[in-house]
Amino acid sequence: MAAMTSEGSSIDPAKPSIARVYDYLLGGKDNYAVDREIGDVFKRDLPGSVAIAYANRAALTRAVGQIAKTTGIRQFIDLGSGLPTADNVHQVAQRHAPESRVVYVDTDDQVLVHGRALLEDNDRTRVIGVDVRDPEGIRSHPATREIIDFERPVAVILSAILHHVNDEEDPAGIVRHWRDHVPSGSYFFISHFRSGDNPETEEAEKVLQRTFGRGRWRTDAEIAALLDGLEILDPGIVPAPLWRPDETDNPWSGGEGRELTVWEHLIVAGLARKGHR
């Protein structure tokens, strides 16, 4: 999850941040009382919802690892990256391919401060403050151009960000812009809140919309449509715990061998590839 405040604004501890609420749900320390108040709504009134955050993070870790291990892609753009936590994209990618380069994109001021401090000594990473709804601004940013070669395939990471883009803000257009401006062979990872047509979905959506004015649960068909023109790879768009689970998976993320909770069905993940056209 990632907030979309304007770049240059100061950190306001009295105003909740999507990134900091997510940090709190994951057990992080980079949050304020106002963030914990929102997070506690999920913990108290929507028990089990914390599993969404863990399942999403575990699927992202698996996806980045598989891209780094099984493809020649060595450059990643993480859109709406959120606050640094365990196994960030650059850590996973560079663990398998040390030459991997990563651009983190967010506009939450605390994300930018923490991210730049964390990555100060890593010359293969950059952190930029550009809105995810401005893909060309991200692509043409000097820091992006400094380490990303758009003549070579790129992994575009859309982890838990497009559900914070409302319909009228054209989330499909964001993906389409990246699809049209990266080479064939590029990969796209997406995770997204999935509409369960149940009280849990409706209540969680209300909390986010009431607090942040955004947070859109979409159907399977709507999520697949965001990846129009891309080849969706096996196993398709599925609940995040079921997306290529392995024996090292975080226990929160579920996987094979047990029944998923209603909450674990409410976050899906998928990997797609841009083919030759």
Q: What is the pLDDT of residues 7-39, one digit of tens each?
A: 444 667 777 777 787 778 777 777 888 888 888
The answer to whether the Cα torsion of 9, 116, 20, 268 is positive or negative is positive
* Helix pair 33-45, 18-25: axis angle to 10 deg: 60
Tell me which DSSP letter residue 261 carries.
P
Tell me the pTM. 0.84
Average pLDDT over residues 251-273: 76
CATH number for the 18-273 domain, one of 3.30.70.100, 3.40.50.300, 3.30.1330.90, 3.40.50.150? 3.40.50.150
- The domains of the chain are located at 18-273
- For tokens 């997204």, what's the residue? 192
The answer to whether 108 touches 19, Cβ cutoff 8 Å, is yes
Average pLDDT over residues 83-109: 89
pLDDT at 48 over 80: no
Determine how many CB atoms are found less than 10 A away from the CB of residue 29: 7
What is the rounded CA–CA span in Å between residue 246 and residue 66?
11
Q: What confidence category does residue 277 fall into, taking pLDDT thresholds of 50, 70 and 90?
A: low
* Helix pair 18-25, 50-70: axis angle to 10 deg: 90
Q: CA 217 from chain center: how many Å? A: 15
What's the Cα-to-Cα distance from 126 to each of 13, 142, 152, 200, 235, rounded to whole Å?
25, 10, 18, 37, 32
